[in-house]
Amino acid sequence: MADEDKRRARPVPASRLGRLAGFSGLAGGMVAGALGEGARRLAAGERPSMDQLLLTPGNAKRMADKLSHMRGAAMKLGQMISMDAGDVLPPELSAILARLREQADFMPPRQLDKVLAEQWGADWRKLFRRFEPRPIAAASIGQVHRALTRDGRAVAIKVQYPGVAKSIESDVDNVAGLLRMTGLLPDSLDIAPMLAAAKEQLREEADYEREGRMMQVYAELLEGDTRFVIPELQPDLTRPHILAMSFEEGRPIEALADEPQDLRDSVFGSFIELVGRELFDFGFMQTDPNFANYRFRADTGQVVLLDFGAARKVDPAVASHYRRLLQAGLDEDRERVREEAVAAGFISPQALARHPERISRAIDIIVTEMARPGQFDFGDRAFVPEITNEAMPIAKDKQSWHVPPPETLFVQRKVSGTALLGARLKARVDVRSIVGDLLAETAT
């Protein structure tokens, strides 16, 4: 095994005590780092605040490394926050969470064998002609292996890390505690609904048998749409902590960025249409837009869709809010956009009362950009600093903070993540036409 492999093959802390020790060690390390940084700055004549001391580059790396090692809900929650927050996160927190979007460590062979034996039995190797011990992917909740069954099926086997399902409650609470310790989350902010929703979704994602059913539901919804490929569930090999599916060839979706502009535009236009169908037609959405959940087939132009643990029904009320908000945007009715954004929970009444001009200017920038005729260039981010310039003072005003309804957050995570993919691919798409057609076709 190469040095890089040895570095990344680290056992997952599986016991409650082991995971608690991990969080305790992280908190202690961050405090020690803050004390050292404080002494250095005081000697230089500075008077730093506690959050400045805790959010040093060293502590950012320390937190990211520890959460990546622990995996499970701890790492997953960090990923969820990073995808939700877009471009308005404080830079210190962005540095921490960006690292969590990278691949996690993976289990060493001995721990992997123990998990497989618990799920399939001690003689599990007899099920396969070949089982590749090194995972082809490692994420927050599980890692994926390629295998060939005795009857010749090429399969992908997702194996859940031990202890993940049992540690969801404590992991989420401990991550929230760490964020509060840094001062990034004010005591006045009620995050209980978001934490409860995060725990519910993580419990669903840890149920691999449920994920298998969701994958089948999604395949039925997309039946006949040859633009997308859904793996086929392998029920005989699936267990509560093992999900078996057909192995589907494909390159990372980022590889699409090297393809001709017209192909990038066409494929990403399909993504936008798919999100609209999920929201306004299917009433069912895969809410995790992590880039690793998409694979690209250059020979056919198809996209392989993966990971349905976060698939869920869309609350009709949330879909209605999005419909009215988008229609107001298409109509270029800025006052109605503001009203619908407040009604949907994107903007709090407190923020509107405290920063009315900034909110109006941000809305004007967005509506103006989206109203331009023809293709919208996702690669042109020139307007983003303008929005950030208006949003950051609001984000820093902790009296204006609030948490949108959890069901809205789930949907917005998919919408925001899809836009980030468009930026990565530098796609150009006539968003107005796609959205307008979808709203008209799905109107009741």
Mean pLDDT by 10 residues, the chain (444 residues): 48 57 51 46 47 52 61 56 46 55 73 95 97 88 94 97 82 71 58 76 90 97 97 97 97 94 97 97 93 93 95 95 96 95 90 92 92 90 84 77 80 90 95 95 89
Please state the separation of Cα 212 from the chain's center in Å.
19
347 phi and psi angles, rounded to 5 deg: -120, 130
Domain membership of residue 227 (yes or no) is yes
* 175 and 153 in a common domain: no
- DSSP H or E stretch at residue 128: strand 128-131
pLDDT at 432: 94
Domain membership of residue 202 (yes or no) is no
Please choose, from the candidates 137, 160, 172, 174, the residue with its C-alpha nearest in 3D space to the C-alpha of residue 8. Answer: 137
* 380 and 239 in a common domain: no
* 113 and 94 in a common domain: no
* 397 and 345 in a common domain: yes
Domain membership of residue 191 (yes or no) is no
* 340 and 309 in a common domain: yes
* 274 and 125 in a common domain: no
Q: Rounded to a whole number, what is the distance in angstroms from the first to the last CA of the chain?
A: 59
Domain count, the chain: 3
* 129 and 173 in a common domain: no
* 244 and 268 in a common domain: no
The question of whether 262 is a catalytic residue gets the answer no
Tokens 């859904």 belong to residue:
230
pLDDT at 33: 47
Here the tokens at position 16 are 């409650």
* 228 and 259 in a common domain: no
CA angle 38, 39, 40 (to 5 degrees): 90
Domain membership of residue 199 (yes or no) is no
313 phi and psi angles, rounded to 5 deg: -70, 145
Domain membership of residue 230 (yes or no) is yes
Domain membership of residue 192 (yes or no) is no
Give the residue ranges of DSSP H helices in 71-166: 72-85, 91-100, 109-120
Domain residues for the domain of 155 are 108-160+207-248
pLDDT at 2: 39
- CB-facing half-sphere around the CA of 406: CA atoms within 13 A: 13
Judge contact between 148 and 155, C-beta under 8 A: yes
Here the tokens at position 367 are 């509506």
* 320 and 180 in a common domain: no
Judge contact between 129 and 318, C-beta under 8 A: no
Domain membership of residue 7 (yes or no) is yes
Last residue of a domain, one of 248, 263, 298: 248
Q: Identify the active-site residue in 288, 299, 364, 380.
A: 288
Last residue of a domain, one of 233, 248, 263: 248
Here the tokens at position 349 are 């009444």
Domain membership of residue 193 (yes or no) is no
* 409 and 293 in a common domain: yes
As a whole number of angstroms, the distance between CA 59 and CA 281 comes to: 45
* 214 and 282 in a common domain: no
- DSSP H or E stretch at residue 313: strand 311-313
pLDDT at 80: 54
